[in-house]
Amino acid sequence: MDSECLALLPAVCLVLADPKQSPPDDTSLEKLLDWFKELHSQSNGQVLLQHQPCLLEFISSVCTSKTTDHAILAFTLKLTGLLAATTQGFHLLEEGGLLVSVFEREAWCVCDHWEDASVRSGWLQGLLNMLKHQQALDFIRGNGLIKVILQLQNDRSLFVACLANQLLVHILNFLTSSNMTNGSDAVGSSELSLRPDWVSVSSEIMNAVVEALSSEDHPQVLQGLRLLSLVLSQCGEPIRSTLWKDVLVPLEVLVNRGSESLMKTLITVLQAAVRTPLLSQSEYKVEVLLEAMLGDGNRKEHFQCAALILKLEKCPEVLKRKAMNIILLPLQCVSTQPQAEKEIIVVLKEQLSQKASCISLLMQSLSSLAELAHTKYLFEDISIHSVTSSVVLLLRMCSGHCPSSLLHINAFTHLIGCCKVQRCGLDTLGALSVYEENVDLRKDIFGVLLDCLQSPDSHATVMKKTFQAIKRWIVECLPFPDLLQFISHDLFPVLEKRLCDLRWEVRDSTLEFITQLTAALNGYSGFTEALHNSGMVSVLLSSLADAEGYVRASAVAAVGEAVTVSFHIVNNNNLLEEALVQMMSVLSQDTEGFPRRAVVKVFTSWLRGSHPITALDSSLSSVLSLGGNDFDWEVKMHTLELAEMLMEKTLTCCPYAIQNFGSSEETHFTQALSRLKAYGLFDLLLNSLFDCDRPVCEKACGLLVKLRTLTAETADLNHSAFVLNVCGNRWENEVQRRCLKKQPAKASVCVTNLVSKSDEETDCDLHCSRNISLYKILQILDLDDMQRMLTLSSDHVVNSPRSLMEDILSAAQQSEENIVDCY
């Protein structure tokens, strides 16, 4: 493939370098670069450049042309960098001065090319691509390019600025990589032991960071902090500690200034610092800085900082506790009397009296609490009961209930019906289920969750979060006997009501919840009985006729799960029969793919279970036939998965062995094949083999290969017993063609007829091969070749580089420009 592509390369280069041509499709150049990268990783740049002089000519001609399109320029810069990534390639490009002319910034300024962000970005990316060896670094240093990169760090384009930071970090990393220095990775290995000319490079970059941090210009400070955090997280010693020492003073100034707009970026810096060994050395003051950022905990920024500190994986415990005390304050302030200094409470209450800050503080409080719960954080100073009760109370307030003792709190009015706080609170409440001691509060917890479900005004997203929380709590409370009482008496009636909600989102979430609950409680007979006795099953069945496709699909899954847990119940037959009738109607008539897909999936899951297939016998052939002829390829795929399961269940004596049938097994195998034939499984597989969607063909082919292996292994199988009628099937032509190939004597007559489709053809078909045995079909079809082709197939969108190059070339030949359109 590559040799063909390389043959096309000169022509492609000519087209791309031609300033009269408009650049190809915006993705083509990127894809072409991908190919070069791949080539480069396989071989080296020198080989490519030596064998493809057109590349040098291309780069040279783009550099000299003043009118080349920006997209082509950017491409050339990236490509040059890539080709110069090996020392040999680098030298070839440097020899004729080409490298300098490509990366010399001034050259680009002449025609305003530099004004275009894509060119600046290409320039940086080119250098980044190139920086793989010492000569590249010498080139960058020697041509004074560090200065340009530092300038680009403050570029007006986010993308360029970000790339410049990446390049600077890459340079610093490169300086300290093991083959360049004698430095160790121990913190504080104070001096850089670099080549003297490279010391200037590192100090130039580091001085720029210090300067940026000391600057009064906000964007510059921000970029400086970004670079600092990148250095901390991506560079090793001694760069890391040297830079940290240099920036400590301006950093302390920034931290103490407590500017809100810098807070997040400062925390990112400290977050990166915490992950390094700098944390454990007091002279680097990481902990001091974090504590300073927490302040006295009464300003908005302090809360933000506390929330961020709690998310740090490695954080001193004292600091974490301080942050936790700060972050929990708003929650306590709203729901109880907090233990904190009066001054702090006054400031906090003032903030809580304003809606926007009240919501934001409580959300920070709640989400931090949830994160602590995810790690099962051990609360020492506060009881988890009181924290959980506060969350419950907060959720009650959101539903409009407030104890009279707290009515004076302004926050209450802000909270009524506030979805944001509700969603966050529900997540937190769910997360708090990890603390076993909270199980004592289950009555209150289920009470408030039920309130959320009962309220018709609850937002659909709130309902969904409520379901998630209920599920977590039910699973936690499983051994308690009062749980079943709660489910059947309290929960089910509300669920039935929610299944009639006007919003499809709510109906769907309810059904999803019922499915998950049923699966989680499978084996608890009390639950299954409750499901049947409460009338929930019939509500589920009626949901199969919902107006919304998504809901019908979820109803199918819910009914499927209900049937699964009810298989052992004696009077289950009614449910199964009813479910089968309705599901078949969904599969045959539903206009949407989701419900049809769900039906086939349910059948597969039923088969996968240890239930007797006989109960489904009557429907299976219809499912295979309907599913196999569906116009949604995913329904067809699911049907083939069902077929696979059916084959496995039918053909195996025990679940783990498919092969080696003995004499008694042969009888079993013959019977099993007869059953599969009766289900219409062979027709399904052969039809699917010639489907218009490749994944379907591939799956069917795999199953047929499996079948062929089995039939071949069973030597005494009576092949004539399994004869399939070829006529009228999708695979007729192919089988006939191959059949005729193997019967040369009859071929001449039949081939003519197959092509002309005349009346005699039928006679011919009838005559030569109307009925063919399955065994013969499997032998005739070259399944191995088909499988190989299907696996090789590059699929619908041709991604090969050759096709890409042909597209570029043919687009260039196309004289008439198609007006740019968007889908």
Partner 1 sequence: MPDIKVTPLGAGQDVGRSCILVSIGGKNIMLDCGMHMGYNDDRRFPDFSYITQNGRLTEFLDCVIISHFHLDHCGALPYMSEMVGYDGPIYMTHPTKAICPILLEDFRKITVDKKGETNFFTSQMIKDCMKKVVPLNLHQTIQVDEELEIKAYYAGHVLGAAMFQIKVGLESVVYTGDYNMTPDRHLGAAWIDKCRPDILISESTYATTIRDSKRCRERDFLKKVHETVERGGKVLIPVFALGRAQELCILLETFWERMNLKAPIYFSTGLTEKANHYYKLFITWTNQKIRKTFVQRNMFEFKHIKAFDRSYADNPGPMVVFATPGMLHAGQSLQIFKKWAGNEKNMVIMPGYCVQGTVGHKILNGQKKLEMEGRATLDVKLQVEYMSFSAHADAKGIMQLIRMAEPRNMLLVHGEAKKMEFLKDKIEQEFSISCYMPANGETTTVVTNPSVPVDISLNLLKREMALGGPLPDAKRPRTMHGTLIMKDNSLRLVSPEQALKELGLSEHQLRFTCRVQLHDPHSDTDTLGRIYTHLKSVLKSYSIQHVPDGTVIVESIVIKVTSSAEEPNLKVILLSWSYQDEELGSFLSTLLKKGLPS
- What the block records as the tokens of 62 is 């783009």
Residue 656 as a binder of partner 1 (CB under 8 A): the answer is no
The pair phi, psi for residue 654, each rounded to 5°, is: -120, 160
Residue 799 as a binder of partner 1 (CB under 8 A): the answer is yes
In the bound state with partner 1, the residue whose beta carbon lies nearer, of 654 and 822, is 822
Q: What minimum distance in Å lies between the beta carbon of 419 and partner 1?
A: 9
Virtual CA dihedral for 777, 779, 782, 787, nearest 10 degrees? 90
In the bound state with partner 1, the residue whose beta carbon lies nearer, of 594 and 682, is 594
Residues 243 and 231 sit within 8 Å (Cβ to Cβ): yes
Residues 268 and 293 sit within 8 Å (Cβ to Cβ): no
Provide the CA 605 distance to its chain's centre, in angstroms: 25
Residue 784 as a binder of partner 1 (CB under 8 A): the answer is no
Distance CA 637, CA 700 (A): 9
The per-residue DSSP string of 720-773 comes to GGSEEE-TTSTTHHHHHHHHHHH-HHHHHHHHHHHHHT-HHHHHHHHHHHSEEE
Residue 461 as a binder of partner 1 (CB under 8 A): the answer is yes
Q: Which stretch binds partner 1 (CB under 8 A): 115-123, 481-489, 530-538, 762-770?
A: 115-123
Q: Which of 371, 444, 693, 732 binds partner 1 (CB under 8 A)?
A: 693
Q: Which stretch binds partner 1 (CB under 8 A): 200-208, 234-242, 435-443, 793-801?
A: 793-801
Q: Which of 632, 648, 760, 761 binds partner 1 (CB under 8 A)?
A: 632
- DSSP label of 404: G
Residue 444 as a binder of partner 1 (CB under 8 A): the answer is no
Q: Which of 591, 614, 660, 663 binds partner 1 (CB under 8 A)?
A: 591
- What the block records as the tokens of 276 is 């390094």
Distance CA 546, CA 550 (A): 9
Q: Which stretch binds partner 1 (CB under 8 A): 374-382, 439-447, 592-600, 605-613?
A: 592-600
Consecutive H or E run containing 13: helix 2-17
Q: What minimum distance in Å lies between the beta carbon of 821 and partner 1?
A: 5
Q: Which of 6, 33, 117, 645 binds partner 1 (CB under 8 A)?
A: 117
Distance CA 33, CA 35 (A): 5
The pair phi, psi for residue 49, each rounded to 5°, is: -65, -35
x/- track of binding to partner 1 for residues 535-574 (CB under 8 A): ---------------x------------------------
- What the block records as the tokens of 604 is 């597969």
Residue 813 as a binder of partner 1 (CB under 8 A): the answer is yes
Q: What minimum distance in Å lies between the beta carbon of 790 and partner 1?
A: 8
Q: Which of 94, 116, 529, 665 binds partner 1 (CB under 8 A)?
A: 116
Residue 789 as a binder of partner 1 (CB under 8 A): the answer is yes
Closest CA to 286 of 238, 240, 226, 217: 240
Residue 795 as a binder of partner 1 (CB under 8 A): the answer is yes
- DSSP label of 248: H
Closest CA to 450 of 436, 467, 435: 467
Place of tokens 């894509």: 118
Closest CA to 555 of 508, 587, 522, 487: 508
Residue 804 as a binder of partner 1 (CB under 8 A): the answer is yes
Name which of residues 195 to 234 contact partner 1 (CB under 8 A): none
Residue 1 as a binder of partner 1 (CB under 8 A): the answer is no
Residue 694 as a binder of partner 1 (CB under 8 A): the answer is yes
Q: Which of 378, 570, 745, 797 binds partner 1 (CB under 8 A)?
A: 797
- What the block records as the tokens of 134 is 């010492």
Q: What minimum distance in Å lies between the beta carbon of 484 and partner 1?
A: 29
In the bound state with partner 1, the residue whose beta carbon lies nearer, of 8 and 616, is 8
Residues 213 and 254 sit within 8 Å (Cβ to Cβ): yes
At residue 157, what is the residue type?
Answer: S
In the bound state with partner 1, the residue whose beta carbon lies nearer, of 40 and 464, is 464
Residue 342 as a binder of partner 1 (CB under 8 A): the answer is no
Where are the alpha helices (H) located in 338-489, listed in sequence order? 342-352, 355-374, 384-398, 411-415, 419-431, 442-454, 460-476, 482-485
Q: Which of 10, 18, 31, 166 binds partner 1 (CB under 8 A)?
A: 31
Q: What minimum distance in Å lies between the beta carbon of 200 and partner 1?
A: 31
Using alpha carbons only, give the angle 124, 125, 128 rounded to the nearest 5 degrees: 90
Q: What minimum distance in Å lies between the beta carbon of 337 and partner 1?
A: 28
Distance CA 215, CA 294 (A): 23
Residue 159 as a binder of partner 1 (CB under 8 A): the answer is yes
Residue 505 as a binder of partner 1 (CB under 8 A): the answer is yes
Residue 633 as a binder of partner 1 (CB under 8 A): the answer is yes
Q: Which stretch binds partner 1 (CB under 8 A): 394-402, 481-489, 650-658, 800-808?
A: 800-808
At residue 254, what is the residue type?
Answer: L
The per-residue DSSP string of 183-197 comes to --SSTT--S----HH
Where are the alpha helices (H) located in 215-341, listed in sequence order? 218-234, 239-257, 260-274, 286-294, 300-311, 317-335
Residues 122 and 63 sit within 8 Å (Cβ to Cβ): no
Residue 27 as a binder of partner 1 (CB under 8 A): the answer is yes
Q: Which of 458, 509, 604, 650 binds partner 1 (CB under 8 A)?
A: 509
Q: Which of 110, 692, 745, 755 binds partner 1 (CB under 8 A)?
A: 692
Name which of residues 406 to 435 contact partner 1 (CB under 8 A): 423
Q: Which of 444, 760, 761, 807 binds partner 1 (CB under 8 A)?
A: 807
Q: What minimum distance in Å lies between the beta carbon of 528 and partner 1?
A: 26
At residue 229, what is the residue type?
Answer: S
Name which of residues 464 to 503 contact partner 1 (CB under 8 A): 464
Closest CA to 426 of 403, 442, 448: 448
Neighbours of 657 (CB within 10 A): 11
Q: Which stretch binds partner 1 (CB under 8 A): 52-60, 666-674, 743-751, 785-793?
A: 785-793
In the bound state with partner 1, the residue whose beta carbon lies nearer, of 434 and 789, is 789
Q: Which of 356, 502, 654, 715 binds partner 1 (CB under 8 A)?
A: 356
- What the block records as the tokens of 441 is 């509060």
Which residues are near partner 1 by CB under 8 A? 24-28, 30-31, 70, 116-118, 156-160, 162, 268, 355-356, 423, 460-461, 464, 505, 508-509, 550, 591-594, 631-634, 692-695, 789, 792-799, 803-804, 806-807, 810-811, 813-814, 818-823
